[in-house]
Amino acid sequence: MIEDDRSIYNLRMKLTIAAIALAWLLTLGLVSPLFTQAPTQQQQPEFVKQGQQLMREGKPEDALALYRKILQTSPDSVPANLAAGSVLDLMGKGEDARKYFTKAIEVADTPEGKASAKRAMAMSYAFEGDCKKTVEYEQQVFDLYGTGKNFFQQGETANEAARVCIDSGDLDAAYKWYQMGHETGLKEPDIKPARQDLWNFRWEHARARIAARRGNQAEAQTHVAAAKAVLDKGTIPEQAPFFPYLKGYVAFYTGDYKTALDGLNQANQNDPFIQCMMGQTYEKLGEKDKALEYYRKASTAISHNPAAAYAVPFAKKKLS
């Protein structure tokens, strides 16, 4: 009976730690909210709340000191290791950050925990614009989800890798991974029409951006129209905010800066990637002060995701 009680206790502890780590990853923007369909909601550790508040106040050194203090007594804390690494990435100290992510990968004791920690490592390389190393770790995450036939999360992972690659300028790799995400996502058993439309919208969105980056304006507009047609079916209204961003993106890379500004102004103004694109657009229009205003906003992002991985280093370089 004593052994059974210990086994039950250990299982409960593992589930609690995994849920807390997941809550922390969601706070950082590392995983999709859809990933939380199964786990039970858990209260975040107090140090997570404190650290996030310090980050919002522009005090990354204090947040890092807090996480390191937690790690002095709990060196195997996955949330604390991920938090410390994420702050270091935002500070431009990727090599130091990856020591913490390595530890998180080592101590995570569930497949989901391993996947999340490796995803954090992938994002660390994204902060350095390293498509190849990002893909190396995203591939491992992709494979981990594949063992459980979680086709949706495989698709999400592939799209995340693709997003990093397009932002780093490796358009061929981006196309490959977006295509993989589209094809894999559609393998979901008994997939609903709305989910099919989601993957089709994302695929058209991606191809439009890649075509624009390659200077193929006509092809880009064809995919923009196809993306709009999917949206007009009305099954994925939550994706509507991503359409003006697409129009602005395509217009920017095809040299129509006034149209780009119009589209970007209708996109999510809290997205650091959008803020960087706004800054670049104002630069092209000769409005330096407005450009710097948006770069300053982008430089303060505190998420650990593809948008911040591109925006924070880019904006800080523009401001230096």
**Does residue 190 form part of some domain?**
no
The mean per-residue pLDDT over the stretch 292-299 comes to 98
**Does residue 116 form part of some domain?**
yes
Q: Higher model confidence: residue 207 or residue 13? A: 207
**Does residue 273 form part of some domain?**
yes
Length of the chain: 320
Q: Is the pLDDT of residue 285 over 70?
A: yes
pLDDT-derived band at 35 (thresholds 50, 70, 90) equals very low
**Does residue 44 form part of some domain?**
yes
**Does residue 142 form part of some domain?**
no
Torsion angle, CA of 188/190/194/199, rounded to 10 degrees?
Answer: 20
Tell me what the pLDDT averaged over the chain comes to. 89
pLDDT-derived band at 9 (thresholds 50, 70, 90) equals very low
pLDDT-derived band at 45 (thresholds 50, 70, 90) equals confident
Domain count for the chain: 2
**Does residue 196 form part of some domain?**
no
Angle between helical axes of 193-213 and 151-168 (0-180°, round to 10)? 10
List all residues 6 or more positions away from 23 whose beta carbon is below 8 Å from its beta carbon.
Answer: 41, 42, 43, 44, 48
181-193 pLDDT, tens per residue?
A: 999 999 999 999 9
Gap between the Cα atoms of 234 and 78, Å rounded: 40
26, 79, 119 from 134: Cα distances, Å: 19, 21, 9
Gap between the Cα atoms of 288 and 159, Å rounded: 33
- DSSP letters, 260-303, are HHHHHHTS-TT-HHHHHHHHHHHHHTT-HHHHHHHHHHHHT---
Range of the domain at 26: 1-128
**Does residue 153 form part of some domain?**
no
56-67 pLDDT, tens per residue?
A: 999 999 999 999
Q: Is the dihedral of CA 178, 183, 188, 191 positive or negative?
A: positive
Half-sphere exposure of 171 (CA within 13 A, CB side): 11
Give the model's pLDDT for residue 43.
63
CB 267 within 8 A of CB 276: no
Tokens of 5: 């009680």
Nearest CA-CA partner of 207 in 241, 245, 236, 166: 166
Structural domain ending residue among the three candidates 97, 113, 128 = 128
**Does residue 213 form part of some domain?**
no
Nearest CA-CA partner of 44 in 22, 65, 61: 22
Angle between helical axes of 272-284 and 288-299 (0-180°, round to 10)? 160
Report the CATH number that the domain containing residue 56 is assigned in CATH.
1.25.40.10
Structural domain ending residue among the three candidates 86, 110, 128 = 128
Structural domain ending residue among the three candidates 128, 152, 180 = 128
pLDDT above 70 covers a percentage of the chain that reads 87
Q: Is the pLDDT of residue 211 over 80?
A: yes
109-129 pLDDT, tens per residue?
A: 888 889 999 999 999 999 999
135-182 pLDDT, tens per residue?
A: 999 999 999 999 999 999 999 999 999 999 999 999 999 999 999 999
Compute the chain's Rg from CA coordinates.
Answer: 20
Nearest CA-CA partner of 312 in 320, 130, 301, 303: 301
